[in-house]
A and B are shown apart, each in its own frame.
Chain A
Amino acid sequence: MKPTIVTAFAVLALLSSIGASCVNDDVLVVLNLGPIVGKYRVPPGENTTFAGSITIRLDSLIPPGYASTLKQARVYDIRVRVEGAYDGRVSGESHVKVGSGTRTSLIKFPASGSAPWSSFSTPQSLLGSSPLLAPDPSGISQLLQAFSTTPLPTITLFADGHLDVAPVPGNLYVIVEVYLQADATLN
């Protein structure tokens, strides 16, 4: 009888632990990260240029516990939009800098020349294949490489450009949003 009972408990213990032993060792969990949002004010007046930057700590985007287990990242959208009313045209470019590295172009809006300010009142998106956006693979690549840097560096997102008609009214903003995913291991 005793060997039978021992066997029974061995089977029970084995069955109970099957779920755990079948957990994949190389599971990648996808982290949807908060967008990096740069909001740049266009100064009012006769000057028609604008420029600005925001700096964030990359680890501030990562859910707790995952900063040391990141494997790779992706950009799944970049959106450019404007706030404020203006009758002229705009052209601009956003750059990215990782830590104290060099500035690299991330996206131009539009690809060349200029576009009506009002055309950006509706957010222009890579997902919408917007003809007004021209992403630069080198900037995207530099941004994504930051996720494999230890410790996680700061990211600076720049935007600069100009409008075509002065005077520039007040309360104009250009907003660049970068949407990211990162893959992390569970352990």
Chain B
Amino acid sequence: MHLIQRFRFLISGSLVAAIVLVAGVARAESDFEKILRQQNQTNVQGYMQPIADLFGANLHSGFNHSAYIPQSGFHFRFDIMAMAGLVQDDQMSYEAQSPEGFTPSKFKTATIFGGKGGSVPNPIAPGDTNLAYKGSDGLFSTTIFPLAAPQITIGHVYGTEAVIRYVPIPEIGSLPAITLWSLGARHSVSQYLEGFPIDLAVGAMYSSFSVGDLVTVKGYAAALQASKEWTVFLIYGSLQMEKSTLTLSYKTTDPNATNQTINIDLEGSNVFRATIGGGLSLGFLKLYADANFGAITSVSGGIGFGF
């Protein structure tokens, strides 16, 4: 297939994938917004914290592959990235604050990844379910939290390449606009270490994701990357520092909330990760997969097309 035809096919495929994505996300986002608006300032943090942890980790996955970066020469690659944070058992429940006067003052209930909401009984009638306070059910029933994004890599100038991710989904009906973008750069360290047995590179990336005015995730990562290639095989690893912040901005419908306008920042728990992975380079086609270990365990993989 001619190169231009291949990329035309990629673009057509991207549109198909985007339509599927929008259809799927529309319901999830709508339900997410509905359930979010019932949360008050007190309990939204516990309910939503796993989203901040997992999304933050996903946002910074799939950045580190081959550390081999030539000093010069034109390079272009289009990757389709998929990453998934693993939902841990302790991310399925949290200690919610009971209304003032309840004993105990906290009770265990579902996070957004949990099952049925927990409740705290009224002390005057502990067995009476008509007299109790309850937390919402979890929304997602899944052990993995995925994300997918296209990525373009362009280089090389002085052993440096740029990495770009961009997913713009316009406002469609009641579904607000969704935008994901990342901008990063990787720089070869090996070029300064003649004869060093493995390739080394450093990289940094800034990412942003937003769903209308409701959810914003921003974060950055910096990594030291190493890799070794044998003919078509590649193994790679990296150490990465990262930071992500999920901001929720909405008006709660809880009439008992002290403030109806909620603006809260949730810090992602993943601040450091070690990555190990492998890949195949089959001419125009690249395949890779890796595992990431930190506060959040995640996996990522992808398929790339380029030269």
A interface, CB within 8 angstroms of B: 1-2, 4-6, 8-9, 11-13, 15-24, 26-35, 63, 65, 74-77, 125-129, 133, 135, 137, 140-141, 144, 179, 181, 183, 186
Contacts and interface: CB of A to CB of B under 8 A. Distances in A.
A27 B139 contact: yes
B220 to A, nearest CB: 24
15 contacts: A4-B285, A4-B303, A5-B10, A8-B13, A11-B82, A13-B17, A15-B148, A17-B24, A23-B141, A30-B117, A30-B135, A31-B38, A35-B256, A74-B133, A127-B102
Given A17-B21, A77-B101, 17 more contacts: A5-B13, A6-B13, A9-B13, A9-B80, A13-B20, A15-B148, A16-B148, A23-B28, A24-B137, A27-B137, A31-B38, A31-B253, A35-B256, A63-B253, A127-B122, A133-B124, A179-B99
B100 to A, nearest CB: 8
A126 B132 CA distance: 11
The 6 closest A-B pairs by CB, nearest first: A127-B101, A17-B24, A20-B24, A34-B255, A22-B142, A63-B253
Nearest to A144: B130
Contacts, number: 167
Contacts of B133: 74, 76, 181
Given A6-B13, A12-B17, A77-B101, A27 B128 contact: no
Given A17-B20, A32-B254, A2 B9 contact: yes
B28 A20 contact: yes
Given A15-B82, A77-B122, A20 B27 contact: yes
Nearest to A8: B303
B122 A23 contact: no
A6 B129 CA distance: 53
Contacts of B257: 32
Contacts of A13: 16-17, 20-21
B131 interface: yes
A31 B256 CA distance: 11
Nearest to B109: A30
Contacts of B84: 15
Nearest to B304: A8
Given A2-B1, A12-B82, A33 B255 contact: yes
A176 B267 CA distance: 41
B21 A186 contact: no
B181 interface: no
B28 A24 contact: no
A1 B138 CA distance: 42
B16 A126 contact: no
B99 A127 contact: yes
Contacts of A6: 13
